[in-house]
Amino acid sequence: MKALEGVKILDFTHVQSGPTCTQLLAWFGADVIKVERPGVGDATRNQLVDVPGADSLYFTMLNHNKRSIELNSKDETGKEVLTRLVEECDVLVENFAPGALDRMGFSWERIQEINPKMIMASIKGFGPGKYQDCKVYENVAQCAGGSASTTGFLDGPPLVTGAQIGDSGTGLNLCLGIVTALFQREKSGKGQKVTTAMQDGVLNLSRVKLRDQQRLEKGPLNEYSQFGEGIEFGEATPRAGNDSGGGQPGRILKCKGWESDPNAYTYFIIQAAVWQKVCDLIGKPEWKTQEGYAKPPERLDKLNHIFEMIEEWTKTKTKFEVMDLCNPLDIPVGPILSMKEISEDKALFATGTMVRVDHPERGEYLSVGCPIKLSDSSVEVERSPLLGEHTVEILSDVLGYTDDELDRIIDSGAVGKVSRDGAE
């Protein structure tokens, strides 16, 4: 038995943010029915194509364990089928541009009329206000949510991060909103609307930078490298390079091989509790008692020098040797792992965090499995559906259409070109 077994999801999501959410729901056992435009489908099926004629990795890696139905939701027969899906499902998830669902004739009011128990979950770029009607992609959210202005180096431009905090991050928020609404429905018997904005999701992840914005009003941020370099602070939280965002100073330092390997680096944190061990390890035992070095506040204006000295030591070791030497001493360090190294990490495969998936069009590929582990609800990652692969199955098994009705719907063209055996 799976945690969300029996829960039916009408998955009207596309691209990345929404699909991340419904993929998690599918992994937790929900029946996720992905509704796609006939003949076209989710735009990502054809984006960043590496195997001509096959669904892209962009699509396959975000749509595991789902079923696909082709349905023109702007066609009269299509609307009839969509109405049946709203009646039958527990949750509708969508991340269309603002107003798209209303334009289709499926406003929140209409959905409540059709199914008062329905939970309608949406991702938009911005919440209500000046920008509510904007279309938004990942990097727009990273910029508008405060992340870009605080990422990068002081002397460089704002930077976006590779982690998809706007899309996948907001998908996670929506997923939590949905299961919370399902939990409340158990008691209230009613559905509700769950909304998440990508700007809000990014800001939530940038919380510590808003903390620093307020601290800045009281004086310089003395744990930032900038403080040690004697550079004045401006009005806004500055970009802090690789400085740790917490109370324990940290930096990215070069390791053996850095001259030729772009990822021969380690993150190194000088937690106060293990300072003495750090001093011994790097051959600076005198710092343990020396005035200006012995106590954390005294070190703040010398952090650059201290990290330079630590780097002299890390440069003599590989990033994995640094890990092996520091871990037994409780010194927090982390190797900078490349995607190549991660994709070869047996331990991640053993836990299901990395998976190999077979696909009829593209063969075997790697994907990220479920990052949340439930002891009583296991996850088996199954390949993403081909476009319209389950159209007939969903119409007959989920919606209960008779053979005659099925013929009428197929003949109308609302569900694309299908044969009774499945997608053509």
Instruction: Kindly tell me which residue out of 22, 23, 65, 95 binds ligand COA, with binding defined by CB under 6 A.
Output: 95
Binding piece for ligand COA, criterion CB under 6 A, among 96-104, 309-317, 333-341, 399-407: 96-104
Task: Please identify, using beta-carbon distances, which residue of 132 and 351 lies nearer to ligand COA.
Answer: 132
Binding letters toward ligand COA, positions 20-49, x by CB under 6 A: ---------------xxx-----x------
Please give the structure tokens belonging to residue 180: 């919370």
Nearer to ligand COA, 35 or 406 (CB): 35
Residue whose pair of structure tokens reads 């890696």 in the numeric block:
61
User: Considering the rule CB under 6 A, would residue 151 count as an interface residue with ligand COA?
Assistant: no
Amino acid at 245: G
CA dihedral 413, 417, 419, 422 (to 10 degrees): -110
Distance, in Å, from the CA atom of 388 to the CA atom of 410, rounded to the nearest integer, reads: 12
Q: How many helices (H) and strands (E) does the chain have?
A: 18, 13
The CA–CA distances, whole Å, from 110 to 102, 114, 177, 193, 297 equal 9, 6, 21, 13, 61
Q: Find the part of the chain contacting ligand COA (CB under 6 A) among 135-143, 150-158, 183-191, 310-318.
A: 135-143
- Beta strand pairing status for 119-124 and 193-197? parallel
* Closer CB to ligand COA, 37 or 277, in the complex: 37
The answer to whether 324 is a known catalytic residue is no
Chain positions 154 to 173 lying near ligand COA, rule: CB under 6 A, are 167
Is 210 a residue that touches ligand COA (CB under 6 A)? no
User: Using CB under 6 A, which of the segments 97-105, 333-341, 342-350, 356-364 binds ligand COA?
Assistant: 97-105
CB atoms within 10 A of CB 345: 12
Among 6, 132, 135, 371, binds ligand COA (CB under 6 A): 135
Site string for ligand COA, 46-75 (x = CB under 6 A): -------------------------xxxx-
How far is Cα 371 from Cα 351, in angstroms, rounded to an integer?
A: 9
- CB 223, CB 247: distance < 8 Å: yes
Stretch that binds ligand COA, among 123-131, 153-161, 232-240, 369-377 (CB under 6 A): 123-131
Residue 175 half-sphere exposure, CB side, CA atoms within 13 Å?
Answer: 22
Interaction of residue 237 with ligand COA, rule CB under 6 A = no
Interatomic CA distance for residues 385 and 389, integer angstroms: 6
Select which of 42, 167, 200, 243 is catalytic: 167
- What is the Cα–Cα distance from 186 to 203, expressed in whole angstroms? 31
Closest approach of Cβ 419 to ligand COA, in Å? 20
Residues listed for the chain = 424
By annotation, the residues acting in catalysis are 167
* Binding region for ligand COA (CB under 6 A): 15-18, 35-37, 43, 71-74, 95-97, 100, 103-104, 123-125, 135-137, 167
